[in-house]
Amino acid sequence: MSGNNTGQAQLSDRVFTVPNVLSFARLLLVPVFLVLLIQGKDAAALVVLVISSVTDFLDGYIARRFNQQSRLGQLLDPAADRLYIFAAIIGLAWRDLVPWWIVAVVVGRDVLLLVLGVVLANYGFGPLPVHLLGKVATFALFLGLPLIMLGLAVPEIAAFSQPVAWAITLWGAFLYWWAGAIYLIETLRVIRLPRAVVPRQSDTLEP
């Protein structure tokens, strides 16, 4: 968060803000990214991913700088992150460049979070606060998967980039489930507590 009042800004219910429009644009680019990746147009897919990353930075900066943070924005941003991860692993697995078990690991973990969210809602609780380990795992996947694509787009660097990319991606997948286990344990703990004991939770549950 940037300083002064922006860090304390209340979330609004506005839909048509500049950050939200940028987030919608990111979402619209997901199928474009996936199609390019499946077609083997790795350089073009990387360009789309870079544009999406820049857009992601801009919508966060504008939301904080101009006090345009919204509840919808808090939902769109992590949703776009997940969809790009899904698109990357599905596109690469479709071309037999990554094993399908990687897809199962990542998708299965987010299915677990969805189930935990339903369980919490049934017990009258909001979503759990974001865990740092989940953010680290998402960052590792966002770094490792594009590095795999970079090696495909620029074969001259593949001998160096691919081992590094795979190490980061596998580590990210491991951390992804480690964070999922933490969310599971925390959910089991929370639903055993009286409602009054549990503090107000965050509006979104990110990875």
Last residue of a domain, one of 97, 124, 157: 97
Residue 9: pLDDT band with limits 50, 70, 90: low
In this structure, the answer to whether residues 115 and 157 fall within a common structural domain is yes
Last residue of a domain, one of 40, 75, 97: 97
Work out how many domains the chain is built from and give that number: 2
Residue 195: pLDDT band with limits 50, 70, 90: low
Last residue of a domain, one of 64, 97, 130: 97
pLDDT of residue 69: 84
In this structure, the answer to whether residues 129 and 89 fall within a common structural domain is no
In this structure, the answer to whether residues 111 and 86 fall within a common structural domain is no
pLDDT of residue 7: 43
Of 15-19, 121-125, 145-149, highest mean pLDDT: 145-149
Query: What is the C-alpha radius of gyration for the chain, rounded to an integer number of angstroms?
Result: 18
In this structure, the answer to whether residues 105 and 59 fall within a common structural domain is no
pLDDT of residue 202: 44
In this structure, the answer to whether residues 103 and 205 fall within a common structural domain is yes
Whether pLDDT at 201 is above 90: no
| Residues 187-200, mean pLDDT to the nearest whole number | 69
Which residues constitute the domain of residue 44?
Answer: 1-97
Alpha-carbon gap, residue 84 to 92, rounded angstroms: 12
Alpha-carbon gap, residue 22 to 26, rounded angstroms: 6
In this structure, the answer to whether residues 25 and 73 fall within a common structural domain is yes
Which two tokens mark 80?
A: 């776009």
| Residues 85-100, mean pLDDT to the nearest whole number | 94
70 forms beta bridges with 12
CB 78 within 8 A of CB 25: no
